[in-house]
Structure 1
Amino acid sequence: MQQFIQMPPPGKKTPAGRFALFNLGFRPFFLLASAFAAISIAAWMWSYLRFTLPPLFYVSASQWHAHEMLYGFAFAVIAGFLLTAVKNWTGRQTLQGQALAALVACWAGARAVMLIAPDLIILAAVLDLTFNLWLMLAIAHPIIQVKQWRQLGVLAKVAVLTLGNAAFYAQALGWSMNGAHAAIWIGLLLNVSLILVISRRILPGFIERGVQEQVTLKNMAWLDRLLMLLLVVLLLNILTADSPMANMVLGLTIATANSIRLLRWHTPGLWRVPLLWSFYSGLWLITAGFFLYALSFTNSGVALILAIHCWAIGGIGVITLAMMARVALGHTGRNIHKPPASVAWIFGLCIAATLSRVFLPLLWPETYRLSVMLAATCWIVAFTWFCICYWPILSKPRIDGTPG
C-alpha cells in the first residue's frame, strides 16, 4: 500500500495521445467529483437563500444535500481511488476506456437526475445503484483473482455504502420511513472509517519520505483495531438504541484514540509540505468532529450539525483534496514533491470553509447565516480552482509515456 500514490514502476511506453481522461479510474472520477462538489454546494446555497430547488416528496432538502455530498461527491472520489489502488495492489488492470466511461456515465446520470429532474427519482436510483454494484464487481474481481484477502475489509465498506445508498432511495421512493436517516449516518461514518483505514496505511510512510528530518513512525495495531471497533459500535448505536450516553462516551473515546495516533505521527517538518499538512490537518478536524459530537450530548450548547460538518468539510473535504492532488501527480508521472503552487491555497480555502461553518457559529452564534455563506464560498472556490489546476494533469497522458 505504501507504494500507492508514488510514481509507479515504468512499463512499456505507448504513443502519447491527446486525451487520456479514461485511461485509469482516478482521472475522470477525481475531475468530475471536484466539479460536482462545487456545483452541488452552489445548488444547495441557491436553496438555502430561499430560491427554488426541485423538491423530493419523501425526503427533505437537507437529506438531498447530505446524500449528494456523501453518495455523489465522496463515493466518486472513493471509486477513483480504489480503481487506481486495486490496480496497484494486485497488478491487474481495472476498468479503462469505454467500460470506465460507462461507469462514469452511470454516476453522472444519477447526479444530473437528482439535481434537475428529481421527479424521475426511480431513474436516479437505477443509475446510482448500477454504479455502486458495478464498482464493487470491478474492484472485487482482481482482488479475488490474486487472493489478496486483506483487502476485503475495504471492499466490505464499499458494500455497506451501497446498502446505505439503497436505503436512501427506498425512502425517496416512499418504500420506507427512515431509510434516509440511516443512509446519511452510514455514508458519513463509513467515509470517515475509510479515511482512517487508508491514512493508517499510507500517511506514516508519506511523512517519513516527505520531510527533511530523519523520522520513523510506527502504528499501534491494538489502537487501530480499537478505532475500527468503536466506529462500528457507534454506528450500530445510532441506528438502533441511539443512547445519548453511549454516543457521548464513544465520541470522546474515538477522539482520544485518534489524537494519540496523530500525536505519534507528528514531526515538525510536515508543516513545510502542503501534501502532508493538508492530510494531517484533515485528520485533526475529524478528531475535532468527534469531540464536538460528544459535547453535543451534554449541556454545552454545541449543536450536532457542527460535528457533522466538521467531519464532512474538514475531514472528507480536506482529505479528499489532499489525496486527489497527490494521486493525480504520482499516477501521471509527475514529481509528488513539487505540486502546483496553488494547492496550498486550495487546501487553505477548504480548511477555512471548515472553520467558518463549524467554529464561527460556535463562538458567535449570531453569525450563523454568514458562516454558512462564507463556508460555501470557500468550498466552491477551492474545488473549482482544483478542477482548473488539475484539468490538464488529469486529461492528458502521463508525461513519461507509460500507460495509465
Structure 2
Amino acid sequence: MKLNIEEPGPYRFALSHLGFRPFFLLAGLYAVLVVGLWTWLYQFDMAALPTAAFGGPFAWHGHTLIFGYAMAVVAGFLLTAVRNWTGVQTTQGPALLVLAGLWLGGRVAALFGDPGLVAMALFDLGFTLWLLAALARPVWQTRQWAQLAVIGKIALLGASNGLFYLGAFDLLDGGQRLGLYSGVYLVLSLILMMGRRVIPFFIERGLDGAFTPVNRDWLDRLALVLLLAFWLVEVFLPWAPVAAGLAAGLAVAHGMRWAGWHTPALWRKPLLWVLMMAYGWIVVGFALRAVAEFTPLNPMAALHAFTYGGIGMMTLGMMTRVALGHTGRNVFDPPRVLGLLFGLLAIGALVRVAGPLLWPALTASWMSASQLLWIAAFAGFLWVYAPMLVKPRVDGRYG
C-alpha cells in the first residue's frame, strides 16, 4: 500500500519520525533501569521504596513491567504497524515526542512509589487516551474495521490500569490485583493476535518458502474463545478450577499451533527462533497454570513463564526485527550478537521459572541471576540498536 506521508528530507535526527523509534529506545532503557532498581531493592532494602498503595513491592514491580515496559513496546509496534496497514502516517514529529513524554512522566513518577501515584495516574491516563486516538484516526479514515479488535485491546489495557489505580486509591477492593492480572493476560492476547498475523509469514519468508506453516481456522477461533473465557474467569469471577481447565485447553490449542509452525530449520535463524521460543513459553505458562491448581506447584512459575519468557522474549524479538526493517536494514542479515542476546534472555527465563521449582531453597539466587541476565540482554539491545533508533534510515527515506 502506498503511504500517504510527506518525506521532506534530508535528515540528521530521526527519533521522532515513527513510533517504534522513541518507544523502543525508552522500553530498552526502562527494562535495564527498572529491573536494576528491583534487583537492588530485592537484595538490600525492599522498604526503601514506599509501595503500600501499589499493593506492596511485588505489585509495584509488576506494574512497572506490564504498564511501563510492555506498554512502551506495544505503543511503538502499533504506531508503526497501523501506518503500514492503513497507508496513513501515524503520530510523528513533536507530537510523537510529547506522547512519549507522557509515558516517561508516568515511569518517572513510579520511581517515587506512593508519593508519585497521583502524577503517575494522570500521566498514564493522558498517554492511553492519546495513544487510542493516534491509532483510531487512521483506522477510521481508511475504514479498516478489522483493526478495531487491536484498538479495543488497548482500551481494555487502559481500563485494567484504571482498575489498578482505583485499588491504589482505596476506591476498589483488590483493584491492584485485578488490574495487574488483567493487564498480563491482555498483553498476552495482543501478542497472540499479532503473532498469528506475522510469525507464520516471517517463518515462510525467512526460510525462502522451503517450509509452509500450518494454520487452521477452527483452531484460531477456538484459541480466541478459550482465551476470552480464561481472562474473564481467572481475573474477575474467579473460578479457579474452571480457569485451570481453560488454561489446559489453551496449552493444547496453542501447542498445536506452535507445532504447526515449527520446523528444525528455523533454529538457525535467531529472529525466528526467539519468536518461537517466546511462544513456547506462553504455552508452558498455560500448562503450569493448569497444573498448579491441583498440585503444590508455585503459581508464580506460570506467571513468570508468561511474563519473563513469553512477553520478555517476544517483545525483544519483535523490537529487534521491526527496528531493522524500518530503518532500511536487511532483516535476513541481522547483527550476529542477537543470538547471544536472545540466548541470555532464554537462559534467564529458564532460571526464573525452573530454578525455584527444582531448588526452592535457592529462590533468591535464581531471581538475582535471572534479573542480571535480563539486564545484560537489554543492555546489549541498547548498545546495538540505540544508534539505529536515533539516526536516519540507511536508505535516506523518512521513517
Counterpart Cα distance in 2 of 1:183 and 1:263: 32
From 31, 36, 41, the counterpart of 1:47: 41
Aligned length: 397
Alignment map for 1:139-150 (pairs within 5 Å): 139-150=135-146
Counterpart position of 2:372? 377
Listed one character per residue, the Cα deviations across residues 154-200 of structure 1 (whole Å, up to 9, x for unaligned) are 11100000000111111222222211111111111011111111111
Q: Answer yes or no: is 1:337 the counterpart of 2:316.
A: no
Q: Answer yes or no: is 1:216 the counterpart of 2:212.
A: yes
Distance 1:106 1:11, change over 3 A: closer
Listed one character per residue, the Cα deviations across residues 100-120 of structure 1 (whole Å, up to 9, x for unaligned) are 000000000110011135303
Counterpart Cα distance in 1 of 2:254 and 2:153: 20
Counterpart position of 2:255? 259
1:14–1:401 Cα contact (<8 Å) kept:
no
2:274–2:342 Cα contact (<8 Å) kept:
yes
From 258, 261, 266, the counterpart of 1:270: 266
Equivalent position amino acid for 2:352 in 1: R
From 30, 33, 42, the counterpart of 2:24: 30
SS in 1 for 2:335: coil
Q: Answer yes or no: is 1:240 the counterpart of 2:236.
A: yes
Structure 1, gaps ≥5 residues long: none
Counterpart position of 1:70? 66
SS in 2 for 1:116: coil
1:14–1:402 Cα contact (<8 Å) kept:
no
Listed one character per residue, the Cα deviations across residues 328-365 of structure 1 (whole Å, up to 9, x for unaligned) are 00001000011111111111111111100001111222
Counterpart Cα distance in 2 of 1:191 and 1:117: 24
From 322, 330, 335, the counterpart of 1:327: 322
1:11–1:402 Cα contact (<8 Å) kept:
no
Counterpart Cα distance in 1 of 2:6 and 2:124: 36
Q: Answer yes or no: is 1:108 the counterpart of 2:108.
A: no
Listed one character per residue, the Cα deviations across residues 183-230 of structure 1 (whole Å, up to 9, x for unaligned) are 111111011111111111111111111015612223211211211111
Distance 1:18 1:182, change over 3 A: same
Listed one character per residue, the Cα deviations across residues 291-318 of structure 1 (whole Å, up to 9, x for unaligned) are 111111012x211111000100110000
Alignment map for 1:89-108 (pairs within 5 Å): 89-108=85-104
- Identical pairs, percent: 41
Structure 2, gaps ≥5 residues long: none
Deviation at 1:10, TM superposition (A): 12
Deviation at 1:13, TM superposition (A): 6.1
Counterpart Cα distance in 1 of 2:3 and 2:205: 17
Alignment map for 1:64-213 (pairs within 5 Å): 64-116=60-112, 118-212=114-208
Listed one character per residue, the Cα deviations across residues 116-138 of structure 1 (whole Å, up to 9, x for unaligned) are 35303111100111101100000
From 333, 336, 348, the counterpart of 1:353: 348
Counterpart Cα distance in 2 of 1:12 and 1:39: 36
1:74–1:191 Cα contact (<8 Å) kept:
yes
Counterpart Cα distance in 2 of 1:124 and 1:27: 23
Deviation at 1:63, TM superposition (A): 0.8
Counterpart Cα distance in 1 of 2:3 and 2:164: 41
Deviation at 1:53, TM superposition (A): 3.2
Counterpart Cα distance in 2 of 1:247 and 1:265: 27
1:13–1:401 Cα contact (<8 Å) kept:
no
TM normalised by structure 1 equals 0.95
SS in 2 for 1:216: coil
Counterpart Cα distance in 2 of 1:273 and 1:329: 15
Listed one character per residue, the Cα deviations across residues 367-401 of structure 1 (whole Å, up to 9, x for unaligned) are 21111000000001111110111011111001111
Counterpart position of 2:361? 366
2:344–2:373 Cα contact (<8 Å) kept:
yes
Equivalent position amino acid for 1:253 in 2: G
Deviation at 1:239, TM superposition (A): 2.8
Counterpart Cα distance in 2 of 1:53 and 1:344: 37
Distance 1:93 1:319, change over 3 A: same
2:4–2:88 Cα contact (<8 Å) kept:
no
Counterpart position of 2:14? 20
Counterpart Cα distance in 1 of 2:6 and 2:140: 26
Distance 1:256 1:172, change over 3 A: same
From 219, 226, 233, the counterpart of 1:230: 226
Counterpart position of 2:394? 399
Counterpart Cα distance in 1 of 2:6 and 2:247: 50
TM normalised by structure 2 equals 0.96
Counterpart Cα distance in 1 of 2:236 and 2:106: 30
Equivalent position amino acid for 2:70 in 1: A
Deviation at 1:14, TM superposition (A): 4.7
SS in 1 for 2:48: coil
Deviation at 1:60, TM superposition (A): 1.1
The structure with higher relative contact order (CA 8 Å, sep 6+) is 1
1:13–1:402 Cα contact (<8 Å) kept:
yes
Give me the CA root mean square deviation: 1.6
Equivalent position amino acid for 2:165 in 1: Y
Deviation at 1:56, TM superposition (A): 2.7
